[in-house]
Chains A and B, each alone.
Chain A
Amino acid sequence: AQTVTQSQPEMSVQEAETVTLSCTYDTSESDYYLFWYKQPPSRQMILVIRQEAYKQQNATENRFSVNFQKAAKSFSLKISDSQLGDAAMYFCAYENQGAQKLVFGQGTRLTINP
């Protein structure tokens, strides 16, 4: 079974600085998707960024980018120019291609210090 590990229960960063959240996963599959979701206090999970395993190029979405290392099974999220609104729980998630269920990590609580 696939597993996702987020080794940082909590992280904090000064506003406007850059922070990197770590995620590793374990799978024997070659085709899969990786995701970062943000969960603010409203509880709604919001997709931040998505990476297809077959793509070598790292995904980027404005201030959010990933460092996808397939051989190392690592998928970190970099948030540049951190803003107060970025404060939330961040979850890394994995899904086999063709499957219909996400496997989530335990989450990292990100605090932004003004």
Chain B
Amino acid sequence: GAGVSQSPSNKVTEKGKDVELRCDPISGHTALYWYRQSLGQGLEFLIYFQGNSAPDKSGLPSDRFSAERTGGSVSTLTIQRTQQEDSAVYLCASSRWGRQGERNTIYFGEGSWLTVV
């Protein structure tokens, strides 16, 4: 597609329920990132995928959070047993790695706004 696509755009869920957020990166981009933006805050790194390498999960806040990337393209971020503090905008981004490991511009999607009630 032309840009990074995320769904759903908005999600309201009850505390304790599981949610899945989807990200479809720009075609040809091998790197995919998830960030979280809490209300009025900057972005917080969650997880990074690069090609077939093991993902960098160092930013995941708890074991309730997991993510996978199937076929090197679409990614799903799953939050189990949601809590109110999970309410935030979850932003996905992708980029293409150039020659000599130089990372090119990261392109962000419009995010999925999660509200846990």
Partner pick for A45 among B48, B56, B108, CB 8 A cutoff: B108
Partner pick for A104 among B33, B42, B105, B113, CB 8 A cutoff: B42
**Beyond A43-B91, A43-B110, is A100–B42 a contact (Cβ under 8 Å)?**
no
Residues of A within 8 A of B42 (CB): 4, 91, 104-107
**Beyond A43-B89, A43-B91, A106-B42, is A101–B48 a contact (Cβ under 8 Å)?**
yes
**Residue ranges of B at the interface with A (Cβ–Cβ < 8 Å):** 31, 33, 35, 40-45, 48, 50, 56, 58-59, 89, 91, 93, 101, 103, 105-111, 113
Partner pick for B106 among A4, A43, A47, A103, CB 8 A cutoff: A47
Q: Flag whether A98 is at the interface (Cβ < 8 A).
A: yes
A91 smallest CB distance to B (angstroms):
6
Residues of B within 8 A of A106 (CB): 41-42
Complexed CA–CA distance, A98 and B41 (Å): 26
A66 smallest CB distance to B (angstroms):
16
Residues of A within 8 A of B110 (CB): 42-44
Task: Count contacts on A: residues with CB < 8 A to the other chain.
Answer: 20
Complexed CA–CA distance, A50 and B108 (Å): 15
Partner pick for A98 among B35, B59, B101, B105, CB 8 A cutoff: B101
In the complex formed, the residue of A with least CB distance to B97 is: A100
Complexed CA–CA distance, A100 and B105 (Å): 12
Q: In the complex the two chains form, is A102's CB within 8 Å of B45's CB? A: yes
Complexed CA–CA distance, A77 and B107 (Å): 20
Residues of B within 8 A of A46 (CB): 108
In the complex formed, the residue of B with least CB distance to A101 is: B45
Q: Which of A68-114 contact B (CB under 8 A)?
A: 91, 93, 98, 100-107
In the complex formed, the residue of A with least CB distance to B102 is: A97
**Beyond A44-B109, A45-B43, is A100–B91 a contact (Cβ under 8 Å)?**
no
Complexed CA–CA distance, A91 and B40 (Å): 12
Q: In the complex the two chains form, is A47's CB within 8 Å of B89's CB? A: no
**Beyond A42-B110, A47-B106, is A101–B33 a contact (Cβ under 8 Å)?**
yes
Which 3 A-B residue pairings sit nearest by Cβ, starting from the closest?
A104-B42, A45-B108, A101-B45
Residues of A within 8 A of B109 (CB): 44
